[in-house]
Structure 1
Amino acid sequence: MKMDVTIGNHAYSFSSLKEVFAKANEEKSGDRLAGIAAESVQERIAAKKLLSTWTLGDIRDRPLLPLKQDEVSKIIEEQIDEEVYASIERWTVSDLREYILDDRTGDPEIKRIASGLNSEMIAAMTKIMSNLDLIHAANKIEVITTCCTTIGQKGTLASRLQPNHPTDSVEGMLASLKEGLAYGVGDAVIGINPVIDTVDNVKRLLEASKTFIADWKVPTQNCVLAHVTTQMSAIEAGAPADLIFQSIAGSEAANRSFGISASMLKEASHMMQASGKGAGVNQLYFETGQGSELSAEAHFGIDQLTMEARNYGFAKYFNPFIVNTVVGFIGPEYLYDSKQVIRAGLEDHFMGKMHGLPMGVDVCYTNHMVADQNDMEDLGVLLSAAGVNFLIATPMGDDCMLNYQSLSYHDIATLRQTLGKEPSPEFKTWLENTGILEGGKLSRIAGNPLLFS
């Protein structure tokens, strides 16, 4: 297996797969912080060129994080369709990219090939793709899931309504919820981040949101994004939850830092099947983000894009209803500016879709990043063009509890109208029946929370 490449008159030599994977990455401040980034554009190009010549078999035969050392690696490995893999193991990473981008390759063909890939193969392909490649390829893939409702259909753009409140006030949360629904937001989930991670508080927020959903017959799902164990205790106490949530990572050690394991998530899944209020087969919600393994000191020298791909291989095992990357939330230590955030958002969305996941994105940034709201609107347009399953929206794009910037309720409506997207079918019918939508556009009464008085 080659570890050296010559470009022009300069020879580049690498010592390991990890080094090539890291140095083939587009510039990320997190990789720079970890001391594994390419030292120059020329070295990055050399690493990309070398990586493109490796076969899928080369990558599988040399795992970056051995199966005996890590349960995430083991779970990813066990999901590979061996018959499909046998038909493509001699493909190079470049061959894989060309196949996915070929106009003759559609959704069924991509899904079949993807079943024979592991997360590192998908990460390798992503590293040699341009932003437009990532948009074009992701847009080919349709992932449909069902909880209380069904989302992910081609031509739709769903949204998570995020009615957070800095004191977990039910009245404040409901005020934000009403405004979001009045703008046509919330078909993916009404997802509340609690300030206080206690059973009683989670139960209170779940009851309030579920009561509102039932009273107004809103075709959506509710979820309170506390730790999975807190949610499980609340459900045991009778809380009405449609989805159960957890942040996940790409290594067993990083998951331990979140206080979770695969067995714990299996237990949560079984509980939801027995006691959850969602009627469909998909009842879990996962959240990810590039850099979380580095912040937990559990990245094992692997670059943040590849670790993020491993998140999706882990998530795939649990058949979730939705997954989203919170692409700019962790901060400039991992994604320094808008260019890096935009690239990471497109990477994450594509890699999630390649894993067969119902992929969404929180298009967001923190106030100490080199980014602004225009940058986030740009990424919102790119992701909508790429066929993202859902985007997250907050009042005026400003989360007053988590103190970061995201898309706003009216941004979702604008993206749908500009790009010819629709809400999910059941939600669209409800919006039309309430008078919020007329002729596929927001009506004159839209945006008024008093509709729900």
Structure 2
Amino acid sequence: MKLKTTVRGRTYAFADTKELLAKANEEKSGDQLAGIAAADAAERAAAKLVLADMPLSALREQPVLPPVLPPELDEVSAVIDSGVDATIYAEIKHLTVGAMRERLLAESGGELLRLGRGMTSEMIAACAKLMSNLDLLRAARAIEVVARCNTTIGQRGVLSGRAQPNHPADDLRGIEASLFEALAYGIGDAVIGINPVIDTPESVRAILQMTRETMDRLAVPTQNCVLAHVTTQMRAIELGAPMDLIFQSLAGTQAGNAAFGIDKALLDEADAMIRERGAAAGPNRWYFETGQGSELSAEAHHGIDQLTLEARCYGLARHYKPFMVNTVVGFIGPEYLYDGKQVTRAGLEDHFMGKLHGLPMGVDVCYTNHMKADQNDMDNLAVLLGSAGVNFLIGVPLSDDCMLNYQSTSYHDIATVRELLGLRPAPEFERWLEARGLMENGALTGAAGDPTIFR
């Protein structure tokens, strides 16, 4: 396999697919921190040229992290490899990455989903590295991934919102007040999802019971979730908590997941429990979160670039047929994504890669306060993602999460993106908003935004 090229008299050589993928990545501060990034734009361009000519089969035969060979035994690799559709893979394995990129930009959404089933996560990551931002938008927009829990999200023309009514002390009245504001702006059709301060089964159960009572009292068609560690949620289920979705953060390596305190056996156990004892009506009962750079922060990246590792998260996630997956794109900080430009690029990459994996993909359009980014950058990314057909965005009061201490999109930001792009809430939720007098003909009414109507 040829892993070198000559550009303007200078020869660039790459040791293996892992180095090639890293140096073909767009500029990311995380890759620079890990010492694996291209030295300059010329080396990056050379890596892209070599990658474009690489057959897809090479990325499966020489993976960045072998699934069975010591000392790099990795169960994520095994899940990814076993999930590949053999018939579709045989059809496309001779294609180069460059040819596959061209095909992905030419095909309809249904065909893209079919092709994605025959691709490993490394193949999908490789295609993303050859795409411009506009390419990523175009390909992702073609893909429609519909999922059902209690409600159905992901339909074309629908932009859902996660209500994230966090509270710095897990005060139930404070959470409820923030939830009322979200509902008043038409946000919450994806999920009512709370990040808890107190990671105990009793606290998780109390929050779930409160959200369930509110959902029942107001007849809100949605689902609830508390984003504690998966083991805490499992204990809460055993205590009788009414849980629709079970949550967990994922990494793209076995070592990264070990840092999160999980492995595949635990995820399998949780999957069986939520299917047997969960409260939801529909078949999709998982909520996963990811984010470029998490493996590096856990010293579990094995010299692999952060985009490729992010794609591997999606390869693991699709095994469980989730209702929601989102990248918390700018949450980790400037060590991994330095500024608004890098956050924007990563958000578009993650959304495309998740969709091509067949996932109901959302994005937390966010940044930390020590990052070289601001709310205008987030506004730009939110509009780009809305144009690309993102399944859902995250809503927090006034864009400022007072518990997690980072900046995201507000409830009214999501409502504005819907209005700007002609998008609507999930159908069941829209009918509920109309019955409450908060929406008419796809637009919020003058009554919207007033949380006191739910007292």
TM-score w.r.t. structure 2 length? 0.99
| Structure 1 residue 443 corresponds to structure 2 residue 445 | yes
Matched ranges for 1:319-398 at <5 A: 319-398=321-400
Alpha-carbon separation, structure 1, partners of 2:346 and 2:397: 24
2:185 pairs with one of 183, 186, 198: 183
- SS of the aligned residue for 1:67 comes to coil
Alpha-carbon separation, structure 1, partners of 2:414 and 2:438: 14
| Structure 1 residue 52 corresponds to structure 2 residue 52 | yes
**1:288-343 Cα distance to aligned partner (Å, 9 max, x none):** 00000001111100000000000000000011110000000000000000000000
State the one-letter code of the partner of 2:403. M
- SS of the aligned residue for 2:58 comes to helix
- TM-superposed CA distance for 1:439, in Å, is 2.3
Gapped runs of 5+ residues in structure 2? none
Matched ranges for 1:8-407 at <5 A: 8-68=8-68, 69-102=73-106, 105-407=107-409
- SS of the aligned residue for 1:223 comes to strand
Alpha-carbon separation, structure 2, partners of 1:149 and 1:91: 39
- SS of the aligned residue for 2:287 comes to strand
State the one-letter code of the partner of 2:85. D
Alpha-carbon separation, structure 1, partners of 2:200 and 2:113: 40
**1:238-274 Cα distance to aligned partner (Å, 9 max, x none):** 0001000000100011001100011111111111111
**1:349-383 Cα distance to aligned partner (Å, 9 max, x none):** 00000000000000000000000000000000000
Bigger shift: 5-14 or 71-80?
Answer: 5-14
Alpha-carbon separation, structure 2, partners of 1:109 and 1:8: 39
Alpha-carbon separation, structure 2, partners of 1:397 and 1:111: 33
- TM-superposed CA distance for 1:441, in Å, is 1.0
- TM-superposed CA distance for 1:278, in Å, is 0.6
**1:112-139 Cα distance to aligned partner (Å, 9 max, x none):** 1111100000000000000000000000
State the one-letter code of the partner of 2:388. A
Alpha-carbon separation, structure 1, partners of 2:91 and 2:278: 40
TM-score w.r.t. structure 1 length? 0.99
- SS of the aligned residue for 1:196 comes to coil
State the one-letter code of the partner of 2:390. V
Alpha-carbon separation, structure 1, partners of 2:431 and 2:8: 60
Alpha-carbon separation, structure 2, partners of 1:373 and 1:40: 29
Work out the number of aligned pairs and report it: 451
Bigger shift: 68-77 or 13-22?
Answer: 13-22
State the one-letter code of the partner of 1:153. Q
**1:80-103 Cα distance to aligned partner (Å, 9 max, x none):** 11111111111000111000101x
- SS of the aligned residue for 1:391 comes to strand
Alpha-carbon separation, structure 2, partners of 1:118 and 1:274: 30
Alpha-carbon separation, structure 1, partners of 2:174 and 2:26: 41
- SS of the aligned residue for 1:278 comes to coil
**1:2-46 Cα distance to aligned partner (Å, 9 max, x none):** 111111222111111111100000000000000000000000000
Alpha-carbon separation, structure 2, partners of 1:251 and 1:297: 11
- SS of the aligned residue for 1:250 comes to coil
- TM-superposed CA distance for 1:449, in Å, is 0.4
Gapped runs of 5+ residues in structure 1? none
Dislocated runs of 4+, deviation >2 Å: none
Alpha-carbon separation, structure 1, partners of 2:220 and 2:263: 34
CA RMSD after TM alignment: 0.6
Alpha-carbon separation, structure 2, partners of 1:32 and 1:184: 41
- SS of the aligned residue for 2:6 comes to strand
- TM-superposed CA distance for 1:438, in Å, is 1.8
Alpha-carbon separation, structure 1, partners of 2:211 and 2:110: 37
Alpha-carbon separation, structure 1, partners of 2:93 and 2:443: 48
Aligned partner of 2:5 in structure 1 is 5
Alpha-carbon separation, structure 1, partners of 2:2 and 2:242: 56
**1:156-205 Cα distance to aligned partner (Å, 9 max, x none):** 00010000000000000000000000000000000000001011110110
